[in-house]
Structure 1
Amino acid sequence: MSLLPRTAEEFSSAEYWEKFFKKRGEKAFEWYGDYNKLCGVLHKYIKMQDKVLVVGCGNSELSEQMYDVGYKHLTNIDISETVVNNMNQRNAERRPGLTFHQVDATKTPYEDASYQAALDKGTLDAMASEEEGALARNMLTEVGRVLSVGGRYVCVTLAQESVIKLAVEHFVQLGWAVRLHCLQEENRTEEDSFALPVFVLVCTKFRQPMPTPILEMCLGEDGAPVRHTHVSELLSAVREHQAYSVLRKRLRTNTDANSNLSLTLCHAKTGLPRYTLTIQDSPPGAKVPRANQFAVFIVPQGSETAWLYSSGEGRRQLAASANFRRLVIVSMHRNQEYTDMQAVQSELSPVVMDLAPPGMPANHQVPFLSVGGDLGWREEVSRGVSQLSGEYCVENVKGEDGELYRRLVFLSNAALVQSESRLVSSNTATSQKRKNKRKAKASAASAAPAASSTSMTVDSGFLCCAHHEVMVACLAMLGVGMPQNKDIPVSVLLVGLGGGGLPQFLRDFMPNVTIEVVELDPVVLEVAKQWFGFQPDDRLTVTLGDGLERICALEKEGGHLFDAIMFDVDNKDSTLGMSCPPAAFVETPILQKVRNLLTPRGLFILNLACRDPALRKSVLERVSGVFPTILSRKIEEEINEVLLCSRGEKETSDATHILPSLNQAAKNLQSALCSSGTEPSRRPHIDIAELLKDLRIV
């Protein structure tokens, strides 16, 4: 719309509005919404018999329409002489009781407490930017003066942050009650609709100021009010509604296969996150059947962190296999109850059409897709707080393979599983009976696990993390399992405990191995022991403290050499493009200390997860500056890669002879693992040769 103000300063200019209305002429200006859109809220807060001061009326038809339905006590004021003259002429015959006056809203001639309501459609927005809001504050002060006790200031606004913050803080300081309605756009053309939604601010005057602010947000004209404690919370809710409206407008006007747009839907009563929706469009030129325009995919509970659903490439593959023009991928949140698939569909159905692709008919039937037709299963077994890492939870989930898994998740990054272990029944026979029952009662299997979590134990022979499997396989380079090495001890220093699955595996299945684990967070150690079957002993010890400090101390003390040093520690700083390890762990001085702590045959094994190509290159340059021989094994469908670094001398650093010899080393280690003294059902589920075949020389 070419007549809209180009800058915020123009909004508050009397000259701008003179020019605007002269150019606009007789056509009413209703870009904040007409009577039909606003009547529900207006009738809710303004009574027919109320004396109403209409502030900055403009040439809007709103006052005329209100007059026609029974509001006979309307006083309309505007700063523009042109608009006042035009409106008086327009209504002289048809509405003789409707008058318009040229009055400055910051200095009105009306008596104190002479009105029961003040109606403002866009005037606050127009004045708020002038003189750092001074004009708007003066207007609001004047409104407060002319309103009687119980009177209401009803303001239709786009709720730009500076504007709504100014108004809300003004009335909160006066002790008034503040409520905001976010009006949803319905049946409006894209050309006429704003990216931002229209809000109605309702501020109620009390005889005595309210000691505690009343701050409420309502969705639509009849939505239940959600109470907020602080002004900042209310402003945050406004921003969320605005962001959703902008997203909806964007989605209804274009498509972008690489955008990865997402939004979170919260529970209306509690305000807690309930669903996260990610929009995945098909690429331009994709051959999509005409009928396959739009679908919704429900991710099973507990599977939302899987690569297929959590990564951009995974979601693109999912969308390609579903073959719809637009796929909305829905993840469910923790601490929320979901009855069944039908209930979820009913809850989401009113929302998803807002996310439809351009040109989608309003009556289009949107199919809901899922894996196996059920919602999955999740059970929280523990929750606590770490002073170092924040709130965490331990939960059991049912995987898409039907097996049960236990996870440690730090809620500051709920999309990332910190540690995961597979659960098995404490009694194999009992487990088999339960499986038979599950087959006989397929409907019950979708809502509950095969066995009660209280009868389950952690399977120490199963490594859920692919990079842990590779780190174990890399120890084949030490000759573990070779007949001539059967009595040679192997010492490992591991920085980073997590749930303890990796060190427990080494302890249980690697012959003659001793492990020292360094863990910074004592809470993580307790969680590992209580919930993940971690059992320290004389061969598996834990040192609580900073991993870097421990490495420095060991080198300074001397006399400590390890056959393998492993870094498996995550980076808490999410602003960097490297989630493993923290940057300090791959600085040259630390890498040199690691090298000094290795035996002549020793290996440095690093779990590296780096999204930034330039940063990854820098890390590799530093590592190669200390370790002449580096092999890399990338983890399929993940950003992780395991670096296997040897401390061999420069002149013998040609690694081309290493890879062929790995095949026999893999067989030796596989044999050693399989001959461990555990019962067959608990033996390792790992293929050493398969894990090592994709090692590449860096």
Structure 2
Amino acid sequence: MNLLPKSSKEFSSAEYWETFFKKRGASAFEWYGAYVDHCAVLHKYIKPKDKVLVVGCGNSALSEQMYDVGYQGITNIDISEVVIEQMKERNATRRPTMVFMKMDMMQMGFADSQFQVVLDKGTLDAIMTDESEGTLHNVNRMFAEIGRVLQVGGRFVCISLAQEHIAKKALSYFHQEGWPVRIHTIEEESSARRQFVMPVFVFVFTKFRKVPGAGQMILEMCTEEQGKPLRLQSVGQLLELVKGRQQYALLRNHLTKHSSSGENVSLTLCDRGSGKPRYTFYIVDQPSVKPSRANHFAIFIVPQGRETEWIFGTDEGRKQLGKSAGFKRLLVVALHRDQLYESMEAIQSELSGKVMELAPHGLPPNQQVPFLSVGGDIGVRTVQYRGTSDMSGEYVIEDVKGEDGNYFRHLIFLSNVNVVQSETKLLHSTSKSVSSQKKKKKDKGRRRPCSEAEKPSNPETAQAVDKSYLCCDHHRAMIAGLVLLSKNGGLLPDTPFSLLVVGLGGGSLPLFIHDYFSQSTVYAIEIDPVVLEMATKWFEFSQDDRMKVILADGLNYISTLADSGSGSYDVIMFDVDSKDTTLGMSCPPPAFVDNVFLQKVRNVLAPQGLFILNLVCRDCTLKEKVMVAIKEVFPLIYLQKIEGEVNEILYCQLTTELKAGSKDLLEAGQILENALKKPGRQWDQTYHLVEMLKKVTIV
């Protein structure tokens, strides 16, 4: 028996519904769940003595079940005479005061302000099949009639799948009318009994008299039925929350049936009070793992402040983490800044219900799912300062505790929260000695029970900056590449040379060169004055006769210098990022590797000079174009790939006469490293120039 319409427009046709109910008969047809699914929400807004109008009642048992529990002032209308007669016959004896009337809800015959509640379950969805002029006209008529027959203070309760065009229309219409809006989501446990994948929403619109010039109207979302509703500032924000619930339902349905292998699957859960992101989930599946009761599913909590590390902050890293953990599905959970987390135990309790909804198909019943972490505690993240740059947007300065217990200071622009713009190691003023153990970038995801928590140190004691420690491996590689600079027979710490670095950040790279190469003269180009202020105040950057910051656009500065022919540098470094996150290259901005501009870089570089570029490019096609452009300008290029990261360091020279083989590089690196380790000078014992140079190849 085919009951489906030939087109969606038939849903608003009286003829279609007449035929539908004739074929189906008197058996109840439930759109979007039964009374038991909705009663918890309906009881909040409908009192037993209220006069209730059910529009588009069909042959649903909803009003009958409401009648049976005490709601006996119910009037039902439908456009189909067939279904109205069926419902009258079905309820004549058991529910004698229940009213059923054939009536078009777009032109109702009731007096004004006759009802306290108008209830709709699926009718709006059936009418608004598209956004054509005729459909929108009918919806406006429906809403106008509902507003007319409702008393002031009455509620229009609309149960809907909330397709985007429907939700947008309903919210906009009643918000403009000045009616407070509240949305509930039917609990997932109840929804599981339906055949619909998408969640069901209950919209509650309360009739208020429209007051010209009234203030902000109420827009609310009930994220937890027992909690306080979340107040939103705009219809757009409310629609985004609805869309988020729908996307979560689709993802959960997909993950219960399929593997995420090959897909980058993630979702974010927001705090129900503030609406700000609280947890981000990353699904990591290992299809090659044969599931057993012990390795089916696990949750890995990333300590605060460590979500930007390669192993946790990149798809490649999380895949390695999943492989190391050995579970068929690993749910990696990142904790967000501006949120309070009491303990691992509190996080587990908060997440236990949600994470189980993302369990893989075939998880044994009553299976205890382990929570894993690194170090056992939730980590320490202390926001020291937050501000806004006109050029780069909002940013935070925060101190976090690393894997080895040391503290690190981060500069992070909130437009790209997964990237640490600058990082430096902090010295504990209360410590008797300074640990120089390197903070590992590639943690192997050691499994350790969360109960083994450590007592966090106080980040307030960690203020002094360890200027001898280079946190970033690409900075270490850029320093190591200086051995390629041929000046007076080789580069030593007391060899004079001039260096121009584009991109200041926290200043750790130019400061290291300034401090360890005593005859160097360093010029740093920085376009954003706020970055210089941050580097000075929070990263202990300072200027003197050998260290100067030029506040300028690096492109303009180099172009002007090249055109005027007024100066040159022995070394030029590019360590500047792109603010456009849509590009496949995050460092440098494309204009810095344009062929014309590279020619200007060449003109500013001394004849025996060295151009060092930090390249971060995930787009293989774009990277190939960049390499072609560089090779056209620089005949000799050395390359070093940073292990475990996307960064590649290019060392470019203007001559081919001084080709250095691997042995030459290692010997030069050892000489320079030994010279840098002067007695009485602090040196990071984990930094070995020779080890960095072993990975250098000629392009």
Provide the TM-score with structure 1 as the length reference. 0.92
1:549-580 superposed Cα distances (whole Å, 9 cap, x missing partner): 01011112323111111110000011110000
- Matched residue, 1:470: 477
- Tell me whether 1:578 sits opposite 2:585 in the alignment: yes
Code of the aligned partner of 2:196? F
- Tell me whether 1:691 sits opposite 2:692 in the alignment: yes
- Tell me whether 1:386 sits opposite 2:395 in the alignment: no
Change over 3 Å in CA distance of 1:379–1:46 after alignment to 2: same
Change over 3 Å in CA distance of 1:314–1:481 after alignment to 2: farther
Code of the aligned partner of 1:246? L
- Matched residue, 2:601: 594
- Matched residue, 1:21: 21
Distance 1:673 1:55 in 2: 83
- Matched residue, 1:310: 313
Give, in angstroms, the shift of residue 222 of structure 1.
4.0
Code of the aligned partner of 1:268? R
1:112-161 superposed Cα distances (whole Å, 9 cap, x missing partner): 11111111001111112362421111111001101112211111011112
Verify the 8 A CA contact 1:308 1:318 in the aligned structure 2. Answer: yes
- Tell me whether 1:611 sits opposite 2:618 in the alignment: yes
Give, in angstroms, the shift of residue 341 of structure 1.
1.0
Verify the 8 A CA contact 1:183 1:221 in the aligned structure 2. Answer: no
1:391-430 equivalences in 2 (<5 Å): 391-426=394-429, 429=432
- Matched residue, 1:439: none
Change over 3 Å in CA distance of 1:640–1:16 after alignment to 2: farther
Give, in angstroms, the shift of residue 287 of structure 1.
2.6
Distance 2:223 2:412 in 1: 33
- Matched residue, 2:286: 282
Deviates more, 1:332-341 or 1:587-596: 332-341
- Matched residue, 2:441: none
Code of the aligned partner of 1:205? K
Of the three residues 195, 200, 203, the one matched with 1:201 is 203
Code of the aligned partner of 1:321? S
Give, in angstroms, the shift of residue 253 of structure 1.
2.1
Distance 2:488 2:471 in 1: 23
Give, in angstroms, the shift of residue 444 of structure 1.
12
- Tell me whether 1:262 sits opposite 2:281 in the alignment: no
Matched residue count: 680
Code of the aligned partner of 1:265? L
Structure 1 spans left out of the alignment, 5+ residues: 433-442
Change over 3 Å in CA distance of 1:158–1:187 after alignment to 2: closer
- SS of the residue corresponding to residue 336 of structure 1 reads coil
Distance 1:367 1:197 in 2: 29
- SS of the residue corresponding to residue 63 of structure 1 reads helix
Give, in angstroms, the shift of residue 347 of structure 1.
1.1
> Which one has a larger percent helix, Structure 1 or Structure 2?
1
Distance 1:581 1:459 in 2: 27
Verify the 8 A CA contact 2:37 2:191 in the aligned structure 1. Answer: no
Give, in angstroms, the shift of residue 428 of structure 1.
6.2
Code of the aligned partner of 2:555? L
Distance 1:683 1:313 in 2: 29
- Tell me whether 1:329 sits opposite 2:332 in the alignment: yes
- Matched residue, 2:570: 563
Distance 1:601 1:523 in 2: 35
- Matched residue, 1:37: 37
- Matched residue, 1:163: 166
Change over 3 Å in CA distance of 1:183–1:665 after alignment to 2: same
Structure 2 spans left out of the alignment, 5+ residues: 436-450
- Matched residue, 2:156: 153
1:315-347 superposed Cα distances (whole Å, 9 cap, x missing partner): 112112222221111111112111111111111
1:42-441 equivalences in 2 (<5 Å): 42-128=42-128, 129=130, 131-186=134-189, 189=192, 192-207=194-209, 209=211, 211-219=215-223, 221-283=225-287, 285-360=288-363, 363-426=366-429, 429=432
Code of the aligned partner of 2:696? L
Verify the 8 A CA contact 1:481 1:668 in the aligned structure 2. Answer: no
Of the three residues 497, 500, 512, the one matched with 1:490 is 497
Deviates more, 1:247-256 or 1:219-228: 219-228
Change over 3 Å in CA distance of 1:326–1:24 after alignment to 2: farther
- Matched residue, 2:550: 543
1:597-651 superposed Cα distances (whole Å, 9 cap, x missing partner): 11111111110000000000000000101111111111111111001111116xx
Deviates more, 1:199-208 or 1:294-303: 199-208
Change over 3 Å in CA distance of 1:345–1:487 after alignment to 2: closer
- SS of the residue corresponding to residue 662 of structure 1 reads helix
Code of the aligned partner of 1:620? M
Distance 1:484 1:350 in 2: 61
- SS of the residue corresponding to residue 77 of structure 2 reads strand
Verify the 8 A CA contact 2:77 2:102 in the aligned structure 1. Answer: yes
Deviates more, 1:458-467 or 1:7-16: 7-16
Code of the aligned partner of 1:300? P
Give, in angstroms, the shift of residue 28 of structure 1.
1.9
- SS of the residue corresponding to residue 375 of structure 1 reads coil
Distance 1:207 1:386 in 2: 44
Give, in angstroms, the shift of residue 195 of structure 1.
2.6
- Matched residue, 1:438: none
Verify the 8 A CA contact 2:638 2:696 in the aligned structure 1. Answer: yes
Distance 1:188 1:388 in 2: 47
Code of the aligned partner of 1:114? Q
Give, in angstroms, the shift of residue 20 of structure 1.
3.4
Instruction: Give me the identity figure in percent.
Output: 51
